[in-house]
Amino acid sequence: MKRIIGVIGGKRTEKSLLKEAEEAGRLIAQNGATLVSGGLGGVMEAASKGAKAGGGLTVGILPQNDAKEANQFIDIPIVTGLGIGRNVIIARTADALIAVGGEYGTLSEIAFALQMGKPVAGIKTWDIKGVIPAENAADAIDKILAALA
C-alpha cells in the first residue's frame, strides 16, 4: 500500500500558510503518497489542490452527512456524519501529519496523532512537545519522510 500523509489546518488561514499547504500537498503527491485531510476549505483545500497538481490522489474525511461539502480537489470523500469526532480518523488513517497553522480542531488532531506515536511536523502551528518544527512545506516533508524511514 502507498503511504498516506495528512495535512491539517484551519478553514480560515492567512495566504502565506495556504501557499505552504498547497506546496505540502504537491510534495506529498510527488513523493508517491496519498493525501488525507478533513476535506473542507482553507488549508485542507489548498493541500488537496497541490496534491492534484502533483498528480496525486486526495482523500477527504468529512464531518457532515454529504459528499457535496468536500472541496473540489477531493477524489475520495469519506462521509462520516461524526462531526469533529471525525478528527480521530484523520489521525488514524495518516502515517504522519503536517500541521499548517490551525486552531483547536487542528490541536485535537495533533494530540491524537502524537498519542498514536505518529510523526507530526508543524509549520506555524501549536507549540506542543513532540511536534517537529518545520520552516516550510519542503522542510516538513523532509522531516516527516526521515521520521517514517
Is residue 118 classed as helix, strand or coil in its secondary structure?
Answer: coil
Question: Smallest distance, Å, CB 68 to a copy of itself?
Answer: 9
Does residue number 105 form part of the binding site for a copy of itself (CB under 8 A)? yes
Identify the residue among 19, 31, 41, 92 touching a copy of itself (CB under 8 A): 92
Q: How many residues sit close enough to a copy of itself to count as binding (CB under 8 A)?
A: 41
- Is 31 a binding residue for a copy of itself by CB under 8 A? The answer is no
| 11 touches a copy of itself by CB under 8 A | no
Q: Which of 30, 31, 107, 147 binds a copy of itself (CB under 8 A)?
A: 107
CA distance 11 to 37: 12
How far is Cα 141 from Cα 75, in angstroms, rounded to an integer? 22
Determine, following the binding rule CB under 8 A, whether residue 55 of this chain makes contact with a copy of itself.
Answer: no
Cell of 86: 471525525
Q: Which residues pair with 99 in a beta bridge?
A: 8, 122
Stretch that binds a copy of itself, among 13-21, 42-50, 85-93, 141-149 (CB under 8 A): 85-93
Q: Which of 121, 127, 139, 119 is nearest to 27 (CA)?
A: 139
Closest distance of CB 19 from a copy of itself, Å: 25
Sheet holding 4-9, edge to edge: 76-79, 58-62, 34-37, 4-9, 96-100, 120-123, 132-133
Query: In what helix (H) or strand (E) does residue 109 lie, and over which residues does it extend?
Result: helix 104-115
Residues that bind a copy of itself (CB under 8 A): 1-2, 4, 34, 57, 59, 61, 65, 67, 70, 74-85, 87-89, 92-93, 103-105, 107-108, 110-112, 114-116, 126, 128, 130
